[in-house]
Amino acid sequence: MSSFQSQLGEEEGIADELAEGQREISIAEFFEKNKHMLGFDSGARGLVTAVKEAVDNALDACEEAGIRPDIYVEIREVGDYYRLVVEDNGPGITKEQLPKVFGKLLYGSRFHAREQSRGQQGIGISAAVLYSQLTSGKPAKITSRPKGDAQAQYFELIIDTDTNEPEIKADEPTSWDRSHGTRIEIEMEANMRARAQLHDYIKHTAVVNPHARLELREPGSDEPLKFERGTDQLPAETEEIRPHPHGVELGTLIKMLEATESYSVSGFLQEEFTRVGKKTADKVCAGFRDRHFGRAMGWSAGPDADLEAALTEAVSNKGADATGFFAEEVTGTLAERDLTAHHELVEVVDNVADATEDEYGVTFGTTVRENAVEAAWAELTGFDPDEELDRLSSDLYAVVDEATSTRKDDATKHGVAERLARRVAAGDERHRATQRTLRAWVDEAAADTEEYDDATFGETARENVVDVLWSRMRTVPDDLPKVREVAADRDSASALLEGMRETDILAPPTDCLAPITDELVEAGLKKEFDADFYAAATRDADVHGGDPFIVEAGIAYGGELGSEGQVELLRFANRVPLVYQRGACATTDVVKSIGWRNYGLDQPGGSGMPNGPAVIMIHVASTNVPFTSESKDALANIPAIEDEIELAVREAARELKSYLNKRRSLQKRRQKQDVLGRILPEMADKVAEVTGRDRPNIDGAMARIMNNVSIERERDGDLVRLVIENHSDRTEEPDVTDIVSAEPSDLPDDATVVDLDGEWFVKWSPSIPGGEEATLEYAVDEDAEFDVNVDGVEAEKLTVNA
Ligand SMILES: Nc1ncnc2c1ncn2[C@@H]1O[C@H](COP(=O)(O)OP(=O)(O)OP(=O)(O)O)[C@@H](O)[C@H]1O
């Protein structure tokens, strides 16, 4: 115990003294102390984060307004500080909103929206303003012109860290050459040590946002870095959605129950969640009902039950005829039924009582009906307690017998059935139980049997008994509690949540997400990396925490990519490149956990980051990306998302594997052809020498030995003949282009000719089954020259002699 602690309680007033030291901490004050949480831990990093926050906002705002983004970023050294300017052509911000957007932390338009956007928390840009004022002491200068406004508005502001409110230093109309948009200018302590990360951020933003135009001017470089628009097509517009039932947690569900205007649970489900219509709501309600009320066990009217006598005795003063009719009808109806649960018995008794009233003009009041139900239920389950146990345990024996393998001996099954019967009889008098209670009863009965009867009744047998029993139990018809009651009772809410999770529900709609799409992932990689091979995969949407997400992956391999060291991993979340904290990111963990040797990449020790000339790209798009911290550098380890990342990467990796396998076999083929090319002429010479005959013609031998496709040109005056022989065993469809220096004529119907500046391109695409040949014939001047080009057959499988 420290000396200070030892004084506690001894000296009066210490608590009061401590209380004096307690005070509320403002949000702005908190972030002022914890800048690193927001990505402002150093001058180098702070500058990249400020650029990222401003550019992400500009892209979000433009896309939301359906405007093709045109974004200008300028970094300049001004005295001891760096000045950052970011300008966009977005919709602008109104005069009323602007001070809050930039001068108040945790103020934004996206926190409550279930829609894919770069911004999520409403901290980003105001944190940049805070960082700038803390390091340079200067206010942020903001100009904004909402679309349609005649003038722009100019503000200078700082954040009051005590109150987390903007303090406006200047507020005046100004002229601006942009017809709409926002310009932010902040000065801060910074340096350009993170230039590589800054470039990565801008470059990779351009890769996944081909609809945007970006320009970066920076100190130490005269030429701006410009990324022109690759497409005029804006990403698909996203729609806001309601949460998905499979993703919400109990606390959120209770909050939603408290806030809804719906009265019934079914209405609440349909109103507040996506993908829930009447049918799905009914299914969820059935699951909820089973958990809330439990199900009811039913029993058969066994041979020793004397229902008729018991019913007759229960009904008095109704006259012999009416009583006789009633008792006989109820007995008859129950005898026809396989099993009858308590509520079903009530229904049968009610129906027959109504019919008796009609038929005999007597009244069957509530008490009579209740007496009849009680008497019949006692008969169904066995009247006195001893008999009851007998009756129930013989019925339950049948259940245990059905649920267990033939190897279980009868004594064990009887032991479990009897003990189970005792618990059922001691439970709810209508023999209702939830699946959880049932499981507990079966466990206890099995454990007792194991202990006292020296038998085994393991996990599988117990589960099977619960399953068989549960499936023969009846769902009860009681009215479900109303929303208000469920909201007030944690157990009910939890039962509802379980019902929601257990029901099969369509995946959430994806129009709230704008994936890049596999085509554009591949195109983006091609634009940025000069490789030999590209593959991409976009998965279907899945749900986490009520938010849908889509994972995409791409791989580029070979070509100009550096073959030394580890592969490069590009990470994106909602189209924003993640440039820091690679080691703490779920994407990295997943890539490391994959056995890359299986896909043809080198991986020392069989795990960890693979080596080789490859780039792996991963994009996670979600209405709520789970980052590890507010600075949004890395994705948290959420199993559902990690699974999808793995599947997407593996999908692309499978293509890489088949490409590499093919490349390897083509390499072998090339080596074989090289050897053949050397020894065939030598063999021909040797044969001629040994046999004393002419040197055999070896034209075409190589193609035949290698099962290649060969193309030969024959000339006969004006006549040109291209003969393609397919020595392989599968159909080949080569695209042949014969480039001719004079105008050809007499072309067959299946060939076309295009004149391009004095060169004629004869195009022909035959389909040639394995082992067959095809011929193209046409006429051209005798002196013409040719250059043939064949596509659609790998170079290694082609022998051109034309
Ligand atoms: N350039 C801009 N044009 C139009 N609106 C903007 C612009 N920049 C910010 N906003 C508005 O200001 C809000 C606050 O921005 P801020 O960067 O603080 O948070 P955010 O982008 O919502 O979330 P995050 O903290 O995750 O970045 C945004 O939600 C948006 O409505």
Mutating to test ligand 1, I would choose from 53, 60, 164, 633 the residue with most ligand atoms within 8 A of its C-beta, which is: 60
Contacts of 418 (CB under 8 A, 6+ apart): 389, 393, 396
Quick: pLDDT tens for 20-67.
878 777 777 888 788 888 889 899 999 999 999 999 999 999 999 999
* pLDDT confidence of residue 1: 44
C-alpha 182/C-alpha 88 separation (Å) is: 5
Percent of the chain with pLDDT over 90: 67
Q: What's the CA-to-centroid distance between 119 and ligand 1, angstroms?
A: 6
Rounded alpha-carbon distances, angstroms, from residue 411 to 385, 407, 453, 460, 527: 22, 12, 8, 18, 75
679 is in an annotated binding site: no
Q: What is the pLDDT of residue 118?
A: 86
Q: What angle do CA 421, 422, 426 make, to 5 degrees?
A: 115
Count of CB atoms situated within 10 Å of the CB of 748? 10
- Say whether 428 counts as a known binding-site residue: no
pLDDT tens across 686-728, in order? 999 999 988 888 877 877 888 888 898 999 899 999 999 998 8
- Give the contacts of 33 (CB within 8 A, at least 6 positions apart): none
Distance 120 CA to ligand 1 centre (A): 8
The residue whose CB lies within 8 Å of the most ligand 1 atoms, and thus the one to mutate among 125, 240, 574, is 125
H-only helix segments in 692-781? 701-705
- Quickly count: other Cβ atoms within 10 Å of residue 11's Cβ: 9
Share above pLDDT 70 across residues of the chain, in percent, rounded to a whole number? 98
Give the pLDDT confidence score for residue 210 in this predicted structure: 83
The rounded distance, in Å, linking the Cα atoms of 282 and 278 is 6
Q: What is the mean pLDDT of residues 498-521?
A: 88
Give percent helix, percent strand, percent coil of the chain, each to the nearest 5.
Answer: 45, 20, 35
In the structure encoding, which two tokens stand for residue 645, read together? 């990342």
The pLDDT of residue 4 is above 60: no
Quote the CA–CA distance of 672 and 470 in Å, as a whole number: 68
Is residue 476 within 6 Å of ligand 1 at its C-beta? no
Q: Is the CB of 124 under 6 A from ligand 1?
A: yes
573 Cβ inside 6 Å of ligand 1 = no
Are the C-beta atoms of 95 and 153 separated by less than 8 Å? yes
C-alpha 37/C-alpha 46 separation (Å) is: 11
Distance of alpha carbon 752 from alpha carbon 202, whole angstroms: 46
741-785 pLDDT tens trace: 999 999 999 999 999 888 999 999 999 999 899 999 999 999 999
The response to whether 632 counts as a known ligand-binding position is yes
CA pseudo-torsion sign 480, 485, 487, 493:
negative
What is the phi-psi region of residue 559: left when phi exceeds 0, alpha when psi lies from -120 to 50, beta otherwise? Answer: left
Q: Name the residue with the closest Cα to ligand 1, atom 22.
A: 122
Q: Assess whether the C-beta atom of 120 lies below 6 angstroms from ligand 1.
A: yes
Q: What mean pLDDT do residues 596-603 have?
A: 94
Give the domains, in start order, of the chain with CATH numbers.
27-227 (3.30.565.10), 250-294+476-502 (1.10.8), 518-661 (3.30.230.10), 701-801 (2.60.40.2960)
pLDDT at 388: 73
Q: How many whole angstroms from 632 Cα to the centroid of ligand 1?
A: 14
* Residue 439: per-residue pLDDT: 96
Strands 568-573 and 759-764: unpaired
- Residue 494 labelled as part of a binding site: no
Query: Known binder of ligand: residue 125?
Result: yes
For residue 9, pLDDT beyond 60: no
**How high is the pLDDT of residue 239?**
81
Q: Please give the DSSP secondary-structure letter assigned to residue 754.
A: E
Going by pLDDT thresholds of 50, 70 and 90, the confidence category of residue 11 is low
pLDDT of the residue at 10: 54
**What value does the mean pLDDT take over residues 257-286?**
95
Ligand 1 pocket check for 101: Cβ under 6 Å? yes
pLDDT tens digits for range 388-446: 777 888 889 999 999 987 778 889 999 999 999 999 999 999 999 999 999 999 999 99
Distance CA 310, CA 748 (A): 100
Output the average pLDDT for the chain: 90
CA–CA separation, 416 and 450 (whole Å): 9
Instruction: Specify the higher pLDDT residue, 303 or 712.
Output: 712
Residue 109 is assigned to a ligand binding site: yes
Check pLDDT > 60 for residue 2.
no
Residue 606's contacts (CB-CB under 8 Å, 6 or more residues apart) are 595, 597
pLDDT at site 12: 62
Residue 315 tokens read as 């009904």
Residue 109 in contact with ligand 1 by CB distance below 6 A: yes
For residue 524 and ligand 1, the question of a CB distance below 6 A is answered with: no
Q: Is 123 annotated as a binding residue?
A: yes
* Ligand 1 center to 379 CA (angstroms): 72
- The predicted model gives 105-117 an average pLDDT of 77
CB of 121 shorter than 6 A to ligand 1: yes
125 in contact with ligand 1, CB cutoff 6 A: yes
ipTM: 0.94
Identify residue 333 by its one-letter amino acid code. Answer: T
Closest atom of ligand 1 to CA, residue 57: 8
Q: Whose CA is nearest to atom 12 of ligand 1?
A: 101
Whether the predicted pLDDT of 7 surpasses 80:
no
Residue type, 260: T
Of 71-75, 468-472, 545-549, 715-719, the one with minimum mean pLDDT is 545-549
Band of pLDDT at residue 172, cut at 50, 70 and 90: very high
Cα 76 to ligand 1 centre (Å): 24
- The pLDDT score that the predictor gives to residue 38 is 85
d(CA 720, CA 113): 69
101 alpha carbon – ligand 1 mean position (Å):
7
CA distance 305 to 246: 47
What phi and psi, each to the nearest 5 degrees, are found at residue 285? -60, -35
What are the pLDDT digits (tens) for 773-799? Answer: 999 999 999 999 999 999 998 888 888
- DSSP-derived pairing of the beta strands 709-716 and 735-740: unpaired
- Residue 149 C-alpha to ligand 1 middle, in angstroms? 20
Residue whose structure tokens are 């979340």: 573
- For residue 120, the ligand 1 atom closest to its alpha carbon is 26
Asked whether 93 lines ligand 1 (CB < 6 A), one says yes
Res. 90: pLDDT tops 90: yes
Mean pLDDT of 229-233: 83
Ligand 1 neighbour 122 (Cβ under 6 A): yes
Is 294 annotated to bind a ligand? Reply is no
Does 3 have pLDDT greater than 50?
no
Q: Which residues of 651-671 are buried (b: 16+ CB within 10 A; e: fewer)?
A: bbbebbbebbeebeeeeebee
Place of tokens 């390499």: 667
